[in-house]
Structure 1
Amino acid sequence: MELWLEGEDSSSLTGHADRIWIGEAADVAVVHLDDHRGQDEALSLVGMIDWILVRCSDWTMIPLENIVAAAAGSGTRVAAAISKAVDLNGAAFALQHGVDALLLPADKELWAAAKTVLGERNSQNSEEPTAVVELLLADVTSIESGGVGERVCVDLTERLALGEGMLIGSSANALVLIHGETVPSEFVPSRPFRINAGAVHAYCLMADGSTRYLSELEAGD
């Protein structure tokens, strides 16, 4: 994660900045997240430009998380303008991934706090496994009824083999393998193109490493 300095500054902070931001650059699109239109604008730029710099007058993490999720694996990196120390962790660790850069004013206390967060972020990244996905065995300790609701079956254009399926879960960083319907039973034949994935609110892992809700899936994803 990079640390950018807001405006031209001749103080000692200049030497600690990965970039000096003077208001515009050819590789950066600035988006103001003041309402849903700002989020829509940012999402439309994903994959079209190197950097999206997000500014928000009243930080809430949900729009930023949506942009971070959309930008994952797209080639577009996300920077967030932060003016309060309380907002640093939310931006740096959004969806356990975080933004790619923090834009900070020339405030020594804020920069000191950002350096601490940067160290925590680097430490976390160094502890992550190098494999794209690591599957571990887990024990089911209890089963409880969740009531009645909609479920999603995902039909594919290719057949699955034994051991294949989708990674699904209610938390973006804790997913379980839902096996495809490749094993027949005495009641129904196998449907090797289908995953009985789960409830509409559940996350699923996409090919580019991002997550989406099952309710958001569309043909071609």
Structure 2
Amino acid sequence: MFKVNYSVLSYYPDIYLRSNLAIGVAFEVVGENYHKNEVKFITQRKKIVSFDDELEDLEFINMFLDGLKFEFEHTHQSLQNYIKRFVNNFYFEDIEHRKFSSINEVDDFINKTYKYILHLGLNKKERLNVNEKRKYVMTYLEGRYTDITSKHVVSGKNSLDKFTPDFVAKDIENKEFLFKFLNKNNTTIHNARSYILYSIMNETNLILILEDDMVEEEKLLKEFINKFEAKVQLKNEQDLIKN
């Protein structure tokens, strides 16, 4: 049996604000007579500079991240102890845990997890495609819901009112939830409003899943949801894979 402890490394331009950018994921793999530390970073590191216009020294950032990677991967210290020193702009989030029966399963988990979490910071050829992302998320949702299906059309109270969520799930009380990914583009708000209206008109529980860099969109959608008291939740992509 192998246990994987992992934590997201985030950059916060202001440690008192929520806005942050996921720039890496640290993994600690522990098994019987086995221990391995590994770190994965975004490949488009210029995104860190563009995320914070007061941060200009990309060379320093590269040196810092490369040093972090070398230090963590070449020591046997635990992830829990290692991340304690990061308390300012570069900050490790809460540690999550998963267990696997083989090292192949561990490697597959690490490969898919960092690609899911760091999606927008990776070169396009490295990213998970849409179907891979849905499949990855579904493995987490299956452990929380008694019944879950993906990508099929649902009808509202009026048969003409149709909606295609990415997932439909039911909890142990048979309460139904519709999940829909929102991508950051020119039609994000337009699409989200139509999804929220569907939820209002049909009294359905809707969960909209936002990409990491949608702070302004999230703020506007919260205003819309609160004004109409819609049964809609906004979640970050990373929220879906927390234990």
TM-score by length of 2: 0.28
Larger Rg: 1
TM-score (norm 1): 0.30
Structure with higher helix content: 2
